Amino acid sequence: MKPPPTCAIMRDMIATNLASKLKEGLPAELAGFMKTAAELAAERGLSLYLVGGVVRDLLLGKPNFDLDLVVEGDAVALARELAGIKAAKITTHPRFKTAKLTWAGLSVDFTTARSESYEHPGALPTVTPGSLESDLFRRDFTINAMAVSLDAGRYGELIDHYGGQTDLAQRLIRVLHERSFTDDATRIWRALRYEQRLDFQLEEATLNWLKRDIVQLNTISGDRLRYELECVFREARPEKVLCRADELGVLQKLHPALRADAWLEDRFRLARKLTLPQPPSFALYLALLAYRLNGDECAELSTSLKLSKPVARVVHDAASLKAKIKALAYPEIKPSYVYRLLCGFSQSAVVAVSIAAASPVARQHLESYLHKLRYVKPALGGSDLIAMGVAPGPRVKELLERLRDARLNGEALSRQDEAALVKEWLTEAT
Ligand code: CTP
């Protein structure tokens, strides 16, 4: 699809200059780097622009240090020269004509200005080098389709062909054209993320096209859907995005049995409290989202999202642990029993169930397992038992487990207590 003719483009009426925002809104190292990059680009006769999310966030006054630079010309060659100057690490994707520089904990992406076309819905785009204008037109939403010129004579000048500033002011998420979600249905998830993160609304036509194209999510690979879900879980409040996705029927494209509601909102909030200062892991959030699915449904979700083995295990374990909650709902059960019920399960699954279980008693047992019981070990080891006359083999393992049970239940408090117990068991056995 070609960009509309210039006369039809909503040209920005007020020339906005973001030079001072660039200086104030970015760490000095990055602002300085952009100056160096702009000077080098000028020497090479190339035009250089800052684009995408960082421009949006500069205008919103939100911190964002993920710089995306677009070069009208060979971005990889320019990035290579800059990597030399900064002694930065460079990774390149010659096929997509992109490069990434990383140094001192910072990273900057370089892209060759390009236009994109899609052979069929769900396909990855075919990329052709182009102008900044076509590069902005390939983008998802007006608020992400603005650029800032870094050229010497125009440094800081905002380029806003599609009304991004107006949409920021009106708090709207708007696609650039009717086929945006058809071309790339992952933008449906992106739209919901921005809407909920920024507290914006989907513009009316955009919402209608989004609803029309929900079915196109069927064409997106498991890897790409999982990536979108990872992005959702990286939001400060992913539950807001999931609830909106549920309301629109987007969530059910991941699995028809998934639900996001007040129950999930509470569980996600609790998960964040529990894992502070870290955010919850992808596996923990996913186990909570999938908690109300049955075993078969969890397996279907794992396959369709192509989950890694460890993450699939957490989701599966959390679903299996639900069956143990009844047994854990009695206050008087012994710690050794709790241990044996839970010891084979992945830790994140136990955390998920401790957040999700309805029974307060079961939750207490799960927490006690997580914070205390799982660390309990006997003081004596296998070689101690053998020295005491136990025959090497399965008997050693069995006695070590009995010792751990005794420790858990407070029947052995020291190494001496353990040795006395072993002697007793050995005499009993003879
Ligand atoms: N983009 C797009 N369509 C996509 C993905 C990305 O048009 N499916 C464009 C958007 O212009 C976006 C830019 O590529 O701004 C960079 O993408 P990304 O890093 O995912 O998003 P940011 O805008 O940087 O936003 P954030 O990281 O804050 O979510």
Q: Does residue 183 line the site of ligand 1, with CB under 6 A?
A: no
**250-264 mean pLDDT:** 98
Q: Does residue 111 line the site of ligand 1, with CB under 6 A?
A: no
In a domain, 12, yes or no: yes
Angle between helix 28-43 and 75-86 (nearest 10)? 130
Q: Are residues 13 and 160 in the same domain?
A: yes
Grade residue 119 by pLDDT with cuts at 50, 70 and 90: confident
CA of 342 to the centre of ligand 1 (A): 42
Instruction: Choose between 7 and 90: higher pLDDT.
Output: 90
Q: What is the CATH number of the domain that holds 183?
A: 1.10.110.30
**Radius of gyration in angstroms for the set of CA atoms belonging to the chain, rounded to a whole number:** 29
Grade residue 8 by pLDDT with cuts at 50, 70 and 90: very low
CA of 144 to the centre of ligand 1 (A): 7
Q: Are residues 163 and 61 in the same domain?
A: yes
Grade residue 395 by pLDDT with cuts at 50, 70 and 90: very high
Please state, rounded to an integer, the average pLDDT across all residues of the chain.
93
**How many structural domains does the chain have?**
4
Atom of ligand 1 nearest to the CA of 138: 7
Domain that holds residue 370: 323-375
Q: Residue 188 pLDDT more than 50?
A: yes
Ramachandran bin of 398, using left for φ above 0, alpha for ψ from -120 to 50, beta for the remaining angles: alpha
pTM (two decimals): 0.90
Between CA 411 and CA 88 the distance in angstroms is 60
Name the DSSP letter for residue 68: E
**186-200 mean pLDDT:** 98
Tell me the CA distances in angstroms from 376 to 168, 334, 336, 401, 414, one per residue in order.
55, 14, 10, 11, 12
CA of 236 to the centre of ligand 1 (A): 17
Q: Residue 11 pLDDT more than 60?
A: no
Q: Does residue 186 line the site of ligand 1, with CB under 6 A?
A: yes
Grade residue 205 by pLDDT with cuts at 50, 70 and 90: very high
In a domain, 48, yes or no: yes
H-helix or E-strand spanning residue 90? strand 89-93
Q: Are residues 199 and 334 in the same domain?
A: no
Q: Are residues 52 and 69 in the same domain?
A: yes
Tell me the CA distances in angstroms from 327 to 218, 224, 292, 410, one per residue in order.
40, 39, 19, 21
Last residue of a domain, one of 214, 236, 253: 253
Q: Does residue 239 line the site of ligand 1, with CB under 6 A?
A: no
Q: Residue 124 pLDDT more than 90?
A: no
Q: Are residues 242 and 343 in the same domain?
A: no
Tokens of 412: 């052995």
Q: Are residues 111 and 185 in the same domain?
A: no
**227-239 mean pLDDT:** 98
Between CA 147 and CA 138 the distance in angstroms is 13
In a domain, 165, yes or no: yes
State the Cα torsion 96-215-238-323 to the nearest 10°.
-120
CA angle, residues 320, 336, 401, in degrees to nearest 5: 100
